[in-house]
Amino acid sequence: MTHVETPGPVLSAHFAHREPSSIRVASIRFAQRRDDTRALNVAIGNVSLPMHPLMHERMKRLAEPGSPFAGGVVRYTQTAGLDEARAAVSNVIASSGLDTEHLHAQITDGGSQAMELMIVGCCGPAGSDDRPLMMIDPAYTNYTAFAHRLGRRVVTIQRQLDDQGHFGLPPLDAIEEAFERNRPGALVVIPYDNPTGQLYERDTMIALARLCVRYGTWLVSDEAYRELHYRGDRAISVWSLTEDDVPGITGHRISIETTSKVWNACGLRIGALVTDNSEMHTQAVAENTASLCSNHIGQWILAGLAEASHEDLRRWYDEQRTYYRSMMTSLNEDCRTRMDGLIVSNPDASLYSVIDVRNVVDESFDALPFVLWCAEEGRIDLDGEPWTLLTAPMADFYDVPRDAPNPGRTQMRVAYVEPPERMARVPQLFTGLLQRYLDRV
Protein backbone atom coordinates (compact mmCIF):
# COMPACT_ATOMS: atom_id res chain seq x y z
CA MET A 1 0.00 0.00 0.00
CA THR A 2 1.41 3.35 -1.05
CA HIS A 3 2.04 5.79 1.79
CA VAL A 4 0.55 9.18 1.03
CA GLU A 5 1.97 12.24 2.73
CA THR A 6 -0.81 14.30 4.25
CA PRO A 7 -0.54 17.61 6.06
CA GLY A 8 -0.52 17.42 9.83
CA PRO A 9 -2.99 19.21 12.07
CA VAL A 10 -2.57 22.97 12.22
CA LEU A 11 -2.75 25.18 15.28
CA SER A 12 -5.03 28.17 15.12
CA ALA A 13 -3.33 31.50 14.52
CA HIS A 14 -4.20 32.48 18.10
CA PHE A 15 -2.50 29.41 19.58
CA ALA A 16 0.45 29.58 17.22
CA HIS A 17 1.36 33.10 18.32
CA ARG A 18 0.42 32.89 22.01
CA GLU A 19 3.22 33.69 24.42
CA PRO A 20 3.11 32.94 28.17
CA SER A 21 1.62 35.62 30.40
CA SER A 22 4.08 38.18 31.75
CA ILE A 23 3.15 37.10 35.27
CA ARG A 24 4.11 33.46 34.57
CA VAL A 25 7.00 33.69 32.11
CA ALA A 26 9.75 34.03 34.73
CA SER A 27 8.62 30.97 36.70
CA ILE A 28 8.34 28.92 33.49
CA ARG A 29 11.94 29.75 32.58
CA PHE A 30 13.22 29.22 36.13
CA ALA A 31 11.62 25.74 36.20
CA GLN A 32 14.00 24.76 33.38
CA ARG A 33 17.06 25.79 35.38
CA ARG A 34 19.29 22.99 36.68
CA ASP A 35 21.66 24.61 39.19
CA ASP A 36 21.14 25.05 42.94
CA THR A 37 19.92 28.66 42.80
CA ARG A 38 16.79 29.41 44.82
CA ALA A 39 14.13 31.80 43.53
CA LEU A 40 12.19 34.47 45.36
CA ASN A 41 9.06 34.58 43.21
CA VAL A 42 7.30 37.95 43.38
CA ALA A 43 6.12 37.86 39.78
CA ILE A 44 2.59 36.65 40.57
CA GLY A 45 0.10 37.46 43.32
CA ASN A 46 0.22 33.93 44.77
CA VAL A 47 -0.57 34.82 48.39
CA SER A 48 1.23 32.71 51.01
CA LEU A 49 -1.03 33.51 53.99
CA PRO A 50 -3.69 31.18 55.49
CA MET A 51 -7.34 31.61 54.58
CA HIS A 52 -9.88 33.23 56.87
CA PRO A 53 -10.44 30.88 59.88
CA LEU A 54 -14.07 30.18 58.91
CA MET A 55 -12.96 29.04 55.46
CA HIS A 56 -10.07 27.05 56.90
CA GLU A 57 -12.44 25.32 59.31
CA ARG A 58 -14.68 24.23 56.44
CA MET A 59 -11.69 22.87 54.54
CA LYS A 60 -10.72 20.78 57.58
CA ARG A 61 -14.26 19.39 57.81
CA LEU A 62 -14.63 18.30 54.17
CA ALA A 63 -14.95 14.58 54.97
CA GLU A 64 -16.58 14.90 58.40
CA PRO A 65 -20.25 14.34 59.23
CA GLY A 66 -22.32 17.36 58.26
CA SER A 67 -20.23 18.08 55.18
CA PRO A 68 -21.98 17.45 51.82
CA PHE A 69 -18.87 15.51 50.79
CA ALA A 70 -18.71 13.18 53.80
CA GLY A 71 -19.80 10.22 51.69
CA GLY A 72 -17.29 10.93 48.93
CA VAL A 73 -19.90 12.27 46.49
CA VAL A 74 -19.22 15.60 44.73
CA ARG A 75 -22.17 16.61 42.59
CA TYR A 76 -22.77 19.59 40.32
CA THR A 77 -24.34 22.67 41.88
CA GLN A 78 -26.77 24.99 40.17
CA THR A 79 -24.99 27.15 37.59
CA ALA A 80 -25.47 30.37 39.55
CA GLY A 81 -23.75 28.73 42.51
CA LEU A 82 -24.71 27.49 45.95
CA ASP A 83 -27.18 29.82 47.65
CA GLU A 84 -24.87 29.85 50.67
CA ALA A 85 -21.86 30.81 48.55
CA ARG A 86 -23.80 33.65 46.93
CA ALA A 87 -24.89 34.78 50.38
CA ALA A 88 -21.22 34.81 51.41
CA VAL A 89 -20.38 37.13 48.51
CA SER A 90 -23.21 39.45 49.52
CA ASN A 91 -22.15 39.37 53.18
CA VAL A 92 -18.57 40.26 52.29
CA ILE A 93 -19.66 43.23 50.17
CA ALA A 94 -22.06 44.40 52.88
CA SER A 95 -19.31 44.21 55.52
CA SER A 96 -17.67 47.19 53.81
CA GLY A 97 -20.75 49.27 54.53
CA LEU A 98 -22.19 48.81 51.04
CA ASP A 99 -25.82 48.26 50.06
CA THR A 100 -26.39 44.79 48.59
CA GLU A 101 -30.20 44.74 48.46
CA HIS A 102 -30.48 44.75 44.67
CA LEU A 103 -27.30 42.86 43.74
CA HIS A 104 -27.18 39.54 41.91
CA ALA A 105 -24.20 37.16 42.20
CA GLN A 106 -23.07 34.46 39.77
CA ILE A 107 -20.38 32.20 41.29
CA THR A 108 -17.50 31.62 38.85
CA ASP A 109 -14.23 29.71 38.56
CA GLY A 110 -12.12 32.45 40.08
CA GLY A 111 -12.31 36.08 39.09
CA SER A 112 -10.92 34.97 35.72
CA GLN A 113 -14.13 33.33 34.55
CA ALA A 114 -16.09 36.35 35.74
CA MET A 115 -13.85 38.51 33.54
CA GLU A 116 -14.55 36.34 30.49
CA LEU A 117 -18.31 36.35 31.09
CA MET A 118 -18.24 40.11 31.48
CA ILE A 119 -16.36 40.61 28.20
CA VAL A 120 -18.74 38.31 26.30
CA GLY A 121 -21.75 40.05 27.83
CA CYS A 122 -20.63 43.66 27.39
CA CYS A 123 -18.51 43.80 24.23
CA GLY A 124 -19.19 42.71 20.67
CA PRO A 125 -16.84 40.90 18.27
CA ALA A 126 -14.26 43.06 16.52
CA GLY A 127 -15.88 44.83 13.58
CA SER A 128 -17.50 48.06 12.50
CA ASP A 129 -19.74 48.40 15.58
CA ASP A 130 -17.94 46.28 18.13
CA ARG A 131 -18.28 48.20 21.43
CA PRO A 132 -14.71 47.41 22.59
CA LEU A 133 -13.39 46.82 26.10
CA MET A 134 -11.80 49.97 27.53
CA MET A 135 -8.95 49.59 30.04
CA ILE A 136 -6.76 52.03 31.97
CA ASP A 137 -3.07 51.32 31.26
CA PRO A 138 -1.08 49.82 32.81
CA ALA A 139 -3.85 47.23 33.10
CA TYR A 140 -4.03 43.69 34.45
CA THR A 141 -2.91 41.59 31.50
CA ASN A 142 -5.52 38.84 31.82
CA TYR A 143 -8.31 41.17 30.69
CA THR A 144 -6.46 41.81 27.45
CA ALA A 145 -5.64 38.11 27.04
CA PHE A 146 -9.28 37.10 27.49
CA ALA A 147 -10.47 39.82 25.12
CA HIS A 148 -8.10 38.60 22.42
CA ARG A 149 -9.14 34.99 23.04
CA LEU A 150 -12.76 35.99 22.56
CA GLY A 151 -12.15 38.17 19.50
CA ARG A 152 -12.95 41.43 21.29
CA ARG A 153 -11.04 44.64 20.70
CA VAL A 154 -9.30 46.50 23.54
CA VAL A 155 -8.77 50.27 23.74
CA THR A 156 -6.92 52.03 26.52
CA ILE A 157 -6.48 55.24 28.48
CA GLN A 158 -2.88 55.56 29.56
CA ARG A 159 -1.60 56.62 32.97
CA GLN A 160 1.86 58.04 33.55
CA LEU A 161 4.25 57.21 36.41
CA ASP A 162 6.13 60.27 37.65
CA ASP A 163 9.53 60.26 39.35
CA GLN A 164 7.89 60.42 42.80
CA GLY A 165 6.03 57.16 42.23
CA HIS A 166 2.57 58.58 41.48
CA PHE A 167 0.42 57.24 38.65
CA GLY A 168 -1.86 59.87 37.16
CA LEU A 169 -4.79 59.79 34.75
CA PRO A 170 -5.01 62.23 31.83
CA PRO A 171 -7.45 65.18 32.13
CA LEU A 172 -11.15 64.29 32.14
CA ASP A 173 -11.76 65.92 28.77
CA ALA A 174 -9.10 63.67 27.21
CA ILE A 175 -10.79 60.62 28.76
CA GLU A 176 -14.16 61.73 27.41
CA GLU A 177 -12.62 62.17 23.98
CA ALA A 178 -11.52 58.52 24.17
CA PHE A 179 -15.12 57.55 25.03
CA GLU A 180 -16.45 59.58 22.12
CA ARG A 181 -13.93 58.10 19.70
CA ASN A 182 -14.24 54.45 20.77
CA ARG A 183 -17.78 54.06 22.17
CA PRO A 184 -16.70 51.28 24.55
CA GLY A 185 -19.04 48.53 25.66
CA ALA A 186 -17.41 48.39 29.10
CA LEU A 187 -14.84 50.32 31.10
CA VAL A 188 -12.78 48.29 33.59
CA VAL A 189 -11.44 50.06 36.66
CA ILE A 190 -9.45 48.44 39.47
CA PRO A 191 -9.91 50.79 42.45
CA TYR A 192 -7.17 49.03 44.44
CA ASP A 193 -5.05 48.76 41.41
CA ASN A 194 -3.24 45.76 39.99
CA PRO A 195 -0.48 46.28 38.82
CA THR A 196 0.30 49.78 40.12
CA GLY A 197 -0.78 49.79 43.76
CA GLN A 198 -2.68 53.02 43.05
CA LEU A 199 -5.82 53.76 45.10
CA TYR A 200 -8.53 55.44 43.06
CA GLU A 201 -10.07 58.53 44.61
CA ARG A 202 -13.83 58.50 45.09
CA ASP A 203 -14.14 61.62 42.93
CA THR A 204 -12.33 59.78 40.12
CA MET A 205 -14.73 56.84 40.36
CA ILE A 206 -17.68 59.24 40.20
CA ALA A 207 -16.29 61.06 37.16
CA LEU A 208 -15.66 57.80 35.28
CA ALA A 209 -19.10 56.48 36.26
CA ARG A 210 -20.76 59.61 34.85
CA LEU A 211 -19.00 59.06 31.54
CA CYS A 212 -20.20 55.45 31.50
CA VAL A 213 -23.81 56.56 32.02
CA ARG A 214 -23.49 59.27 29.37
CA TYR A 215 -22.16 56.84 26.75
CA GLY A 216 -24.22 53.77 27.68
CA THR A 217 -21.12 51.92 28.86
CA TRP A 218 -20.97 49.24 31.54
CA LEU A 219 -18.86 50.28 34.53
CA VAL A 220 -16.90 47.19 35.60
CA SER A 221 -15.02 47.39 38.89
CA ASP A 222 -12.48 44.67 39.68
CA GLU A 223 -12.76 44.53 43.47
CA ALA A 224 -10.39 41.64 44.14
CA TYR A 225 -8.45 43.86 46.56
CA ARG A 226 -11.33 45.74 48.18
CA GLU A 227 -10.35 46.74 51.73
CA LEU A 228 -6.61 46.48 50.98
CA HIS A 229 -6.06 50.24 51.16
CA TYR A 230 -3.34 51.99 53.15
CA ARG A 231 -4.59 55.57 53.31
CA GLY A 232 -8.04 56.76 54.24
CA ASP A 233 -10.60 54.67 56.07
CA ARG A 234 -13.42 54.22 53.56
CA ALA A 235 -13.75 51.45 51.04
CA ILE A 236 -13.75 52.65 47.42
CA SER A 237 -16.26 50.59 45.46
CA VAL A 238 -18.59 50.73 42.51
CA TRP A 239 -21.29 49.80 45.05
CA SER A 240 -20.68 52.96 47.07
CA LEU A 241 -21.88 55.15 44.18
CA THR A 242 -25.42 56.43 44.58
CA GLU A 243 -27.96 58.00 42.25
CA ASP A 244 -27.14 61.31 43.90
CA ASP A 245 -23.48 60.82 42.95
CA VAL A 246 -24.16 59.54 39.44
CA PRO A 247 -27.74 59.90 38.16
CA GLY A 248 -28.63 56.82 36.10
CA ILE A 249 -25.86 54.59 37.48
CA THR A 250 -28.30 51.90 38.64
CA GLY A 251 -28.21 48.96 36.25
CA HIS A 252 -24.89 50.00 34.69
CA ARG A 253 -22.63 48.25 37.22
CA ILE A 254 -20.67 45.01 37.49
CA SER A 255 -18.05 43.96 40.01
CA ILE A 256 -15.52 41.16 39.74
CA GLU A 257 -15.09 39.31 43.05
CA THR A 258 -12.65 36.59 44.10
CA THR A 259 -11.45 34.57 47.08
CA SER A 260 -7.85 34.82 45.88
CA LYS A 261 -6.52 37.97 47.51
CA VAL A 262 -8.29 39.41 50.58
CA TRP A 263 -9.26 35.87 51.59
CA ASN A 264 -5.85 34.31 50.76
CA ALA A 265 -7.31 31.47 48.71
CA CYS A 266 -5.66 31.77 45.29
CA GLY A 267 -5.81 28.05 44.54
CA LEU A 268 -9.46 27.74 45.53
CA ARG A 269 -10.38 29.30 42.15
CA ILE A 270 -13.70 30.73 43.25
CA GLY A 271 -14.97 34.16 42.27
CA ALA A 272 -18.19 35.91 41.33
CA LEU A 273 -19.73 38.21 38.76
CA VAL A 274 -21.94 40.65 40.67
CA THR A 275 -24.33 43.12 39.02
CA ASP A 276 -27.27 45.38 39.79
CA ASN A 277 -28.76 44.59 36.38
CA SER A 278 -31.12 41.61 36.50
CA GLU A 279 -30.96 40.98 32.74
CA MET A 280 -27.16 40.88 32.81
CA HIS A 281 -27.30 38.38 35.66
CA THR A 282 -29.88 36.15 33.95
CA GLN A 283 -27.92 36.07 30.70
CA ALA A 284 -24.57 35.54 32.48
CA VAL A 285 -26.05 32.45 34.14
CA ALA A 286 -27.46 31.30 30.78
CA GLU A 287 -24.04 31.71 29.14
CA ASN A 288 -22.34 29.90 32.00
CA THR A 289 -24.62 26.85 31.79
CA ALA A 290 -22.14 25.65 29.16
CA SER A 291 -19.62 25.34 32.00
CA LEU A 292 -22.24 23.61 34.17
CA CYS A 293 -21.07 25.01 37.51
CA SER A 294 -18.07 26.18 39.50
CA ASN A 295 -16.01 24.04 41.86
CA HIS A 296 -18.48 22.65 44.43
CA ILE A 297 -15.83 22.13 47.12
CA GLY A 298 -14.49 25.65 46.67
CA GLN A 299 -17.99 27.12 46.87
CA TRP A 300 -18.66 25.26 50.12
CA ILE A 301 -15.44 26.58 51.65
CA LEU A 302 -16.27 30.16 50.62
CA ALA A 303 -19.75 29.70 52.13
CA GLY A 304 -18.17 29.70 55.57
CA LEU A 305 -18.25 33.50 55.32
CA ALA A 306 -22.01 33.67 54.83
CA GLU A 307 -22.74 33.96 58.55
CA ALA A 308 -19.59 35.82 59.59
CA SER A 309 -20.29 38.99 61.55
CA HIS A 310 -19.32 42.26 59.95
CA GLU A 311 -17.30 43.05 63.03
CA ASP A 312 -15.25 39.90 62.52
CA LEU A 313 -14.74 40.62 58.82
CA ARG A 314 -13.64 44.21 59.48
CA ARG A 315 -11.17 42.93 62.06
CA TRP A 316 -9.82 40.58 59.38
CA TYR A 317 -9.43 43.50 56.95
CA ASP A 318 -7.48 45.45 59.56
CA GLU A 319 -5.13 42.51 60.07
CA GLN A 320 -4.48 42.16 56.33
CA ARG A 321 -3.84 45.88 55.91
CA THR A 322 -1.42 45.96 58.84
CA TYR A 323 0.46 42.98 57.41
CA TYR A 324 0.95 44.45 53.96
CA ARG A 325 1.37 48.12 54.81
CA SER A 326 4.69 47.77 56.67
CA MET A 327 6.22 45.50 54.03
CA MET A 328 5.26 47.80 51.18
CA THR A 329 6.58 50.91 52.90
CA SER A 330 9.88 49.24 53.83
CA LEU A 331 10.49 47.86 50.34
CA ASN A 332 9.71 51.19 48.72
CA GLU A 333 12.18 53.06 50.94
CA ASP A 334 14.91 50.39 50.76
CA CYS A 335 14.83 50.21 46.95
CA ARG A 336 15.22 53.97 46.60
CA THR A 337 18.05 54.02 49.13
CA ARG A 338 20.01 51.26 47.41
CA MET A 339 19.98 52.73 43.91
CA ASP A 340 19.76 56.43 43.04
CA GLY A 341 17.12 57.22 40.45
CA LEU A 342 15.05 54.08 41.02
CA ILE A 343 11.30 54.81 40.87
CA VAL A 344 8.93 52.71 42.98
CA SER A 345 5.17 53.29 42.84
CA ASN A 346 3.64 54.47 46.09
CA PRO A 347 2.10 51.72 48.26
CA ASP A 348 -1.46 53.03 48.46
CA ALA A 349 -3.48 49.85 47.84
CA SER A 350 -3.58 46.17 46.80
CA LEU A 351 -0.35 44.15 47.11
CA TYR A 352 1.83 45.31 44.22
CA SER A 353 4.47 47.88 43.38
CA VAL A 354 5.90 48.88 40.02
CA ILE A 355 9.66 49.44 39.88
CA ASP A 356 10.80 51.66 37.00
CA VAL A 357 14.51 51.77 36.11
CA ARG A 358 14.24 54.37 33.33
CA ASN A 359 16.54 56.80 35.17
CA VAL A 360 19.32 54.25 35.73
CA VAL A 361 19.52 52.46 32.35
CA ASP A 362 20.16 53.50 28.77
CA GLU A 363 17.64 53.52 25.92
CA SER A 364 18.46 49.96 24.87
CA PHE A 365 17.19 48.41 28.12
CA ASP A 366 14.23 46.05 27.96
CA ALA A 367 12.79 44.54 31.14
CA LEU A 368 11.85 41.21 29.53
CA PRO A 369 15.42 40.08 28.71
CA PHE A 370 16.50 41.18 32.20
CA VAL A 371 13.68 39.18 33.83
CA LEU A 372 14.54 36.12 31.74
CA TRP A 373 18.26 36.48 32.56
CA CYS A 374 17.37 36.52 36.28
CA ALA A 375 15.29 33.37 35.80
CA GLU A 376 17.81 31.49 33.68
CA GLU A 377 21.23 32.42 35.05
CA GLY A 378 21.25 35.45 37.35
CA ARG A 379 22.23 34.85 40.99
CA ILE A 380 23.28 36.68 44.12
CA ASP A 381 24.75 35.05 47.23
CA LEU A 382 22.73 35.75 50.38
CA ASP A 383 23.87 34.18 53.64
CA GLY A 384 25.95 31.65 51.74
CA GLU A 385 23.14 30.56 49.39
CA PRO A 386 22.60 31.48 45.72
CA TRP A 387 19.35 33.37 45.07
CA THR A 388 17.59 35.01 42.17
CA LEU A 389 14.47 37.14 41.89
CA LEU A 390 11.45 36.55 39.65
CA THR A 391 9.42 39.63 38.70
CA ALA A 392 6.84 40.43 36.01
CA PRO A 393 7.97 42.60 33.05
CA MET A 394 5.42 45.34 32.45
CA ALA A 395 5.35 45.88 28.68
CA ASP A 396 2.32 43.62 28.23
CA PHE A 397 0.41 45.64 30.83
CA TYR A 398 0.28 48.47 28.26
CA ASP A 399 -1.60 48.46 24.97
CA VAL A 400 0.43 50.75 22.73
CA PRO A 401 1.16 50.71 18.98
CA ARG A 402 4.19 48.64 18.05
CA ASP A 403 6.04 51.71 16.77
CA ALA A 404 5.30 53.79 19.88
CA PRO A 405 7.44 53.94 23.04
CA ASN A 406 6.16 51.50 25.68
CA PRO A 407 6.49 52.77 29.27
CA GLY A 408 6.53 49.16 30.48
CA ARG A 409 9.85 48.52 28.75
CA THR A 410 11.68 49.78 31.84
CA GLN A 411 9.15 48.61 34.45
CA MET A 412 8.64 45.45 36.51
CA ARG A 413 5.84 44.48 38.90
CA VAL A 414 6.58 43.13 42.37
CA ALA A 415 3.91 41.23 44.34
CA TYR A 416 4.03 41.18 48.14
CA VAL A 417 3.34 37.47 48.45
CA GLU A 418 6.35 36.11 50.31
CA PRO A 419 6.70 36.26 54.13
CA PRO A 420 8.07 39.60 55.45
CA GLU A 421 11.56 38.26 56.15
CA ARG A 422 11.84 37.13 52.53
CA MET A 423 10.24 40.24 51.06
CA ALA A 424 12.92 42.22 52.92
CA ARG A 425 15.45 40.62 50.54
CA VAL A 426 13.78 41.96 47.39
CA PRO A 427 15.57 45.37 47.29
CA GLN A 428 19.02 43.76 47.68
CA LEU A 429 18.27 41.08 45.10
CA PHE A 430 16.69 43.47 42.60
CA THR A 431 19.40 46.11 42.71
CA GLY A 432 22.22 43.55 42.90
CA LEU A 433 20.94 41.54 39.94
CA LEU A 434 20.25 44.68 37.92
CA GLN A 435 23.78 45.95 38.48
CA ARG A 436 25.29 42.60 37.43
CA TYR A 437 23.07 42.53 34.36
CA LEU A 438 24.09 46.04 33.34
CA ASP A 439 27.79 45.28 33.99
CA ARG A 440 27.62 42.39 31.49
CA VAL A 441 27.22 44.77 28.54
Q: What is the mean pLDDT of each run of 10 residues along the chain (441 residues)?
A: 78 89 94 94 94 96 92 95 98 96 97 96 84 94 94 93 92 94 96 93 96 97 96 88 96 97 96 97 97 96 96 97 93 92 92 96 94 96 94 94 88 96 96 94 64
For residues 43 and 67, state if they share a domain.
no
Residue 232 pLDDT? 76
In a domain, 394, yes or no: yes
For residues 429 and 335, state if they share a domain.
yes
For residues 274 and 338, state if they share a domain.
no
In a domain, 380, yes or no: yes
In a domain, 2, yes or no: no
For residues 382 and 411, state if they share a domain.
yes
The domain that holds 382 is classified in CATH as 3.90.1150.10
In a domain, 402, yes or no: yes
For residues 45 and 126, state if they share a domain.
no
Residue 119 pLDDT? 97
Q: What is the pTM for the complete model shown?
A: 0.93
For residues 45 and 119, state if they share a domain.
no
For residues 287 and 326, state if they share a domain.
no
Instruction: Choose the final residue of a domain: 278, 309, 340.
Output: 309
For residues 137 and 278, state if they share a domain.
yes
Instruction: Choose the final residue of a domain: 309, 335, 367.
Output: 309
Instruction: Choose the final residue of a domain: 286, 309, 332.
Output: 309
In a domain, 144, yes or no: yes
In a domain, 226, yes or no: yes
For residues 414 and 272, state if they share a domain.
no
For residues 329 and 287, state if they share a domain.
no
In a domain, 43, yes or no: yes
SS3 track for the chain: CCCCCCCCCCCCHHHHCCCCCCCCHHHHHHHCCCCCCEEEECCCCCCCCCCCHHHHHHHHCCCCCCCCCCCCCCCCCCCCCCHHHHHHHHHHHHCCCCCCCCCEEEEECHHHHHHHHHHHHHCCCCCCCCCCEEEEECCCHHHHHHHHHCCCCEEEEECEECCCCCEECCCHHHHHHHHHHHCCCEEEECCECCCCCCECCHHHHHHHHHHHHHCCCEEEEECCCCCCECCCCCCCCHHHCCCCCCCCCCCCEEEEEECCCCCCCHHHCCEEEEECCHHHHHHHHHHHHHHCCCCHHHHHHHHHHCCCCHHHHHHHHHHHHHHHHHHHHHHHHHHHHHCCCCEECCCCECCEEEEECCCCCCCCCCHHHHHHHHHHCCCEEECCEEEEEECEECHHHCCCCCCCCCHHHHEEEEECCCCHHHHCCHHHHHHHHHHHHHHHC
For residues 399 and 298, state if they share a domain.
no
The domain that holds 99 is classified in CATH as 3.40.640.10
For residues 159 and 295, state if they share a domain.
yes
Q: How many domains does the chain have?
A: 2
In a domain, 214, yes or no: yes
**184 lies in which domain range?**
53-309
